[in-house]
């Protein structure tokens, strides 16, 4: 178990798998039924929220939203579980800052959506018409605060000067950060330490950073995760893949995925101070529901045990 100084920093969220194509509300309710049955134990174990990622294809100036309006399923599932809903928005692909403002106007008043995660464009040679993530944070900050909602951004630990980016986005209005998938620790500790030092130097509080994990169950997952990570061979090393997939059973692979995530989280909690940390379990694909829900329950139980240990220590200490 991580040592006591890190206990109060731990929190948990769950990211649904994208459901591609357009779905009727009836179809989305059936999908939410499945999530409710599988994730209900989490709602009683400290789950903070449910998130639904927006998946976008950008081709020669044309934007296609591959999984429709992500707000609907996020709200349906969160309502069933009695937790907050978080949705992501690719702000760079919007037509203008005015279009972004319109999105905020129709989204923020919905009290079931408690957080928005702003995502930027991923092609460096493209000039996007929408705002940058930092600019989106600035625009949304006051309106989000007035409605009791929070702003999230994505953290890519291996990106150059990522600690500076985190600091600037914190100044702009970000309330929390969600990391890319974590399978090893090459950049995690260094980036978070750098972010903490910048915040301390300028007298501001670091915001919570959620470390993201996902189960690795089949060869297709390796290909998908490495594509998401861009520098995939480095960030999802072959030795990690071999260690997990060498077990031939789904049960064993889930267990080894959890053990690897535990190792990363434990090391980070031991070495990081004064930066709130959390866990975000990502399902990624529909076939990963069992593995991702098991992983989330594991972390929920860990969260409960850590809080019990903290309360016990407080009682003993008077």
**pLDDT tens string 149-185:** 999 999 999 999 999 999 999 999 999 999 999 999 9
What integer pLDDT is reported at residue 293 of this predicted model?
Answer: 95
Question: Which residue range(s) make up the domain with 273?
Answer: 4-317
Look up tokens 């999105």; give the residue.
Answer: 103
Residues 6+ apart with CB under 8 A from 10: 2, 269, 277, 278, 279, 302, 303, 306
Query: Nearest-5° angle of CA 112, CA 115, CA 116?
Result: 120
Give mean pLDDT, residues 47-71.
88
Alpha helices in 82-161 (DSSP H): 97-107, 133-146
What integer pLDDT is reported at residue 10 of this predicted model?
Answer: 64
Give mean pLDDT, residues 88-100.
92
Answer whether residue 107 shows pLDDT above 80: yes
- H or E segment at 236? none
The model's confidence at residue 307, banded by pLDDT at 50, 70 and 90, is low
The DSSP symbol for 296 reads H
Give mean pLDDT, residues 103-123.
86
Q: What percent of the chain has pLDDT over 70?
A: 92
Give mean pLDDT, residues 227-244.
91
Domain count, the chain: 1
- The pLDDT tens digits of the residues spanning 118-138 come to 998 766 666 778 899 999 999
What integer pLDDT is reported at residue 3 of this predicted model?
Answer: 37
- The pLDDT tens digits of the residues spanning 243-296 come to 999 999 999 999 999 999 999 999 999 999 899 999 999 999 999 999 999 999
Query: Cβ(12)–Cβ(46) under 8 Å?
Result: yes
Phi, psi (deg, nearest 5) at residue 232 = -65, -40
Give mean pLDDT, residues 76-80.
94
How many Å apart are CA 232 and CA 167, to the nearest integer?
A: 25
CATH number for the domain spanning 66: value is 3.20.20.220
pTM of the model: 0.92
């Amino acid at each position: 178990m991580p040592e006591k100084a890190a206990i109060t920093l731990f929190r948990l969220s769950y990211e649904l798998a994208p459901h591609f194509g357009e779905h009727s509300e009836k179809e989305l309710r059936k999908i939410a039924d499945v999530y409710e049955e599988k994730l209900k134990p989490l709602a009683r174990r400290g789950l903070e929220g449910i998130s639904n990622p927006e998946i976008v294809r950008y081709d020669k100036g044309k934007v296609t939203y591959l999984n429709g309006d992500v707000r609907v399923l996020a709200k349906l599932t969160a309502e069933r579980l009695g937790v907050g809903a978080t949705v992501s928005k690719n702000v760079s692909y919007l037509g203008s800052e005015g279009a972004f403002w319109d999105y905020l106007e129709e989204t923020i008043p919905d009290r079931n959506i408690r957080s928005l995660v702003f995502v930027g464009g991923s092609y460096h040679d493209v000039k996007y018409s929408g705002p940058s993530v930092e600019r989106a944070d600035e625009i949304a900050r006051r309106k989000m605060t007035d409605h009791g909602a929070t702003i999230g951004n994505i953290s890519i630990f291996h990106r150059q000067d990522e600690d500076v980016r985190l600091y600037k986005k914190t100044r702009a209005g970000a309330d929390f950060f969600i990391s890319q998938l974590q399978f090893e620790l090459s950049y995690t500790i260094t980036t978070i330490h750098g972010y903490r030092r910048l915040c301390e130097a300028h007298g501001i509080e670091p915001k919570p950073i959620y470390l993201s994990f996902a189960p690795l169950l089949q060869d297709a997952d390796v290909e998908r995760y490495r594509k998401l990570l861009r520098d995939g061979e480095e960030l999802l090393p072959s030795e990690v893949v071999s260690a997990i997939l060498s077990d031939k059973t789904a049960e064993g692979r889930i267990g080894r995925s959890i053990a690897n995530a535990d190792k990363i989280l434990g090391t980070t909690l031991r070495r990081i101070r004064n930066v709130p940390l959390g866990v975000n379990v990502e399902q990624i694909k529909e076939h990963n529901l069992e593995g991702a829900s098991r992983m989330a329950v594991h972390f929920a139980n860990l969260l409960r045990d850590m809080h019990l240990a903290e309360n016990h220590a407080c009682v003993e200490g008077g």
